């Protein structure tokens, strides 16, 4: 019996459940990229809408894509979708107001 | 007589016509000879009366009008309809333009100068780009959309690659884990503790696996920290600076599973970094990382230890064999009974408490391939998992002797004392503020009491309490003085 126990290290009576690590106490563990990108995306899309700058709107689209790629699975999809929609609406509005193509900065 | 009356105007007309035709003829004949007119502009008009002057006046406007039409034709694609009557004038008009423009402007007073555009430089206005029917002008937009499509493609490819790598790792390790742990795979949400038998996907690049139900440990959390292959920016950044995929294993132990010691071994860079970052390593392992060559390890590995006895105890032959064989894959191995994670930056004015510690074994392994890993590389990590299991059993058996234990206890007491000293001021301030708050609250209560009797009584009670406190303090001071003497 003891040999059996020695051979098999498993102990079903000693099971502990998984507890996700508390990220509030240790903020260094979290990756801040998706949050920053989300914020940047919103700022750029507001700039693009208010100041009618096409390149701002395009950068906002890129920011929201990057934020989506880096997001955690626990994050709200509503937040992602809202930032997407905002940036796409910024692009569309810029082109409706001024259908001229973007001119490169050089 | 009447016939004569009719004949006279006819004769006059007949006389006038040849003159006019003749004038035209003269013009046509002498059209090339402009020099003649330069010298004596009005030569042709000298013998002629006012009629030619009137005729001349009438001529420029109709001739000016047709002269402008050929210019219009040249300018735009838009067609300008010519009046039929003016077509015959076109050939001669061009030649006559120069002649008329050199004449005195006063002659043409009242007429708009309708042929100045012929003299001025032609300005070609650009058609606005969005009205042109060409996609070429939108090349910046096309570039942007192409960039987005490239990003999406990379996202899908990267996500799939990471997923395949994770699955390959799990498939190669599943047997070992299932033979060692009763619970393999748990996300913490289900009511009953049953093995899910699959990885938790935290991100597109981080996968977790929780194993529990074994002797000598509480549980084991394995984190597959892959590179962010799904993010194109990260992919480009990695082209500049190559990084590895990592597998991180964190084994949490019960209180009786491990003796009190702190130990770490790993690559030199990692050791230097951990000594600065980790709370327990910086407090207990003050010396610089020592080379592992003394214990038979390759030069690339170095050791951080609380005391020599611990190193001797951990570095047995099997461990050395493991480490030597897989030195390139080992980033760091950290055993600690005082593990509390990396150093946390404390805010000023916060009353500090000793961070909570947990007996932990922490392993960080590098996946071979330096980013260009294939699912087959995951098999090479299997011996490292064996190392983990071996370490768990070893740590349970490793006990310090009496001397070692005393040293360890002293170290821990020292660290605690230092901590208390540092926070002493802050704790004092905190206690002071708390006392003041209490007093203030009491005073407010007394003030708010409407009944004057009660007020007086509460005031007296507060006074008595203060007196007692003063007396106590005085007694203490007296005692200290006596002791000092």
Using the beta-carbon criterion (under 8 Å), do A20 and B188 form an inter-chain contact?
Answer: yes
CB B364 within 8 A of CB B332: yes
Which H helix or E strand runs over B251?
A: strand B246-252
- Beta carbons of B139 and A101 less than 8 Å apart: yes
- DSSP E strands: which ranges in B105-226? 183-184, 200-201, 206-214, 217-225
pLDDT number for residue B445: 85
Q: Tell me the pLDDT tens digit for each residue of B80-101.
A: 444 444 444 444 444 555 565 5
- Write down the pLDDT at residue B163: 94
Among B75-79, B153-157, B445-449, the range scoring the smallest mean pLDDT is B75-79
Top-confidence residue, B108 or B158: B158
Chain B residues whose C-beta is within 8 A of a chain A C-beta are: 128-130, 137-141, 144, 147-148, 151-152, 155, 179-183, 186-188, 193, 201-204, 210, 212-216, 218-219, 221, 228, 230-233, 341-342, 344, 393
Section B205-228 average pLDDT: 92
Structure tokens at B68: 């402008």
Q: What is the arithmetic mean of pLDDT over B206-219? A: 92
Q: Note the pLDDT of residue B87.
A: 47
Instruction: Please tell me the predicted confidence (pLDDT) of residue B336.
Output: 93
Interval B344-393: pLDDT, tens = 776 655 556 778 899 999 999 999 988 788 888 889 999 999 999 999 99
Question: Tens digit of pLDDT for each residue in B408-452?
Answer: 999 999 998 988 888 888 888 888 999 999 999 988 888 887 778
User: What are B445's two structure tokens?
Assistant: 């209560």
Produce one character per residue of B334-345: b if its CB has 16 or more CB atoms within 10 Å, e if not. Answer: bbbbbbbbebee
Q: How far is A25 from chain B (nearest CA, A)?
A: 9
pLDDT digits (tens, 9 = 90+) for B7-64: 665 566 666 555 544 444 444 444 444 544 455 666 666 655 444 444 444 444 444 4
Instruction: Kindly state the average pLDDT of the residues B131-151.
Output: 87
Mutual orientation of helices B87-101 and B60-75 as an angle, nearest 10°?
A: 100
Can you tell me the distance from the alpha carbon of B333 to that of B326, in angstroms, rounded to the nearest whole number? Answer: 12
Identify the burial level of B399 via C-beta atoms within 10 angstroms of its C-beta, where 0-12 means exposed, 13-18 middle and 19 or more buried: exposed
Task: Name the residue facing A11 among B128, B155, B182 (closest C-beta).
Answer: B182
Q: Is the pLDDT of residue B400 over 80?
A: yes
Q: Answer whether B209's CB lies under 8 Å from B222's CB.
A: yes
pLDDT at B26: 47
Tens of pLDDT, residue by residue over B323-340, are: 999 999 999 999 999 998
- Please judge whether B212 and A70 are an interchain contact, meaning their C-beta atoms are less than 8 angstroms apart: no
Residue B99: predicted pLDDT: 60
Confidence of residue B5 (pLDDT cuts 50, 70, 90): low
Listed residue (B370, B131, B73) closest to B241, CA to CA? B370
Minimum CA–CA partner of A100 in chain B: B130
Q: Can you give the pLDDT at residue B161?
A: 94
Judged against a pLDDT cut of 50, whether residue A4 lies above it is answered with no
ipTM of predicted assembly, 2 dp: 0.91
What span, in angstroms and rounded, lies between the C-alpha atoms of A39 and A64?
Answer: 9
The C-alpha of B155 sits at a distance from chain A's nearest C-alpha, in angstroms, of 7
> How many Å separate Cα B90 from the centre of its chain?
69
Backbone CA torsion sign across B4, B8, B11, B13: negative
Looking at residue B31, its pLDDT comes to: 45
Q: Cα separation of A85 and A64, whole Å?
A: 9
Inter-chain CB proximity A101 and B182 less than 8 Å:
no
Tokens representing B155? 């996202």
Supply the pLDDT for residue B126: 79
* Confidence class for position A3, pLDDT limits 50, 70, 90: very low
Residue B360: closest CA among B464, B227, B261:
B261
B59's tokens: 């001529």
Q: How far apart are CA B330 and CA B328, in angstroms?
A: 6
């Amino acid at each position: 019996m003891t040999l059996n126990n020695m051979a098999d290290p498993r102990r079903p009576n000693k099971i502990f459940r998984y507890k996700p690590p508390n990220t509030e106490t240790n903020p260094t563990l979290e990756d801040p990229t998706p949050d920053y990108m989300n914020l940047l995306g919103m700022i750029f899309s507001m700039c693009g809408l208010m100041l009618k700058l096409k390149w701002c709107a395009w950068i906002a689209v890129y920011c929201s894509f990057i934020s989506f790629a880096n997001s955690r699975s626990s994050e709200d999809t509503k937040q992602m979708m809202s930032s997407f929609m905002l940036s796409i609406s910024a692009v569309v509005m810029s082109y409706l107001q001024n259908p001229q193509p973007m001119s490169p900065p050089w | 007589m009447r016939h004569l009356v009719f004949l006279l105007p006819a004769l006059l007309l007949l006389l006038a016509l040849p003159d006019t035709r003749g004038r035209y003829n003269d013009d046509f004949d002498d059209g090339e000879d402009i020099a003649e007119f330069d010298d004596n502009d009005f030569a042709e008009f000298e013998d002629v009366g006012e009629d030619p002057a009137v005729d001349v006046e009438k001529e420029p406007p109709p001739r000016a009008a047709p002269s402008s039409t050929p210019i219009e034709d040249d300018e735009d694609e838009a067609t300008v309809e010519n009046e039929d009557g003016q077509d015959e004038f076109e050939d001669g008009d061009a030649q006559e333009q120069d002649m008329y423009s050199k004449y005195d402007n006063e002659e043409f007073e009242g007429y708009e100068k309708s042929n100045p555009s012929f003299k001025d430089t032609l300005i070609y206005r650009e058609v606005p780009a969005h009205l042109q029917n060409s996609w070429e002008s939108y090349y910046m937009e096309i570039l942007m959309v192409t960039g987005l499509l490239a990003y999406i493609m990379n996202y899908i490819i990267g996500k799939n690659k990471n997923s395949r790598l994770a699955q390959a790792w799990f498939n190669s390790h599943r047997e070992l884990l299932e033979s060692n742990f009763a619970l393999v795979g748990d996300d913490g949400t289900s009511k009953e503790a049953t093995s899910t038998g699959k990885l938790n996907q935290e991100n597109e690049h981080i996968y977790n696996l929780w194993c529990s139900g074994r002797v000598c440990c509480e549980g084991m959390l394995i984190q597959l920290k892959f590179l962010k292959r799904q993010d194109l920016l990260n992919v480009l950044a990695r082209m500049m600076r190559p990084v590895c995929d990592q597998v991180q294993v964190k084994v949490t132990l019960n209180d009786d599973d491990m003796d009190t010691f702190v130990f770490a071994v790993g690559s030199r860079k990692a050791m230097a970094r951990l000594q600065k970052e980790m709370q327990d390593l910086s407090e207990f392992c003050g010396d610089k990382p020592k080379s592992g060559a003394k214990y038979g390890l390759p030069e690339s590995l170095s050791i951080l230890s609380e005391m020599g006895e611990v190193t001797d105890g951990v570095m047995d032959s099997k461990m050395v064999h493991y480490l030597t064989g897989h030195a390139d894959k080992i980033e760091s191995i950290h055993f600690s009974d005082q593990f509390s994670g990396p150093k946390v930056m404390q805010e000023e004015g916060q009353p500090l408490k000793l961070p909570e510690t947990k007996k932990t074994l922490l392993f960080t392994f590098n996946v071979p391939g330096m980013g260009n890993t294939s699912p087959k590389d995951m098999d090479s990590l299997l011996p490292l998992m064996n190392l983990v299991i071996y370490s768990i059993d070893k740590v349970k058996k490793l006990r310090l002797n009496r001397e070692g234990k005393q040293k360890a206890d002293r170290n821990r007491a020292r660290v605690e004392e230092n901590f208390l000293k540092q926070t002493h001021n802050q704790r004092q301030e905190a206690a002071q503020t708390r006392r003041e708050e209490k007093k203030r609250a009491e005073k407010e209560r007394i003030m708010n009491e409407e009944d004057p009797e009660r007020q007086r009584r509460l005031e007296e009670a507060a006074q008595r309490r203060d007196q007692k406190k003063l007396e106590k303090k005085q007694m203490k001071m007296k005692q200290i003085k006596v002791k000092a003497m």
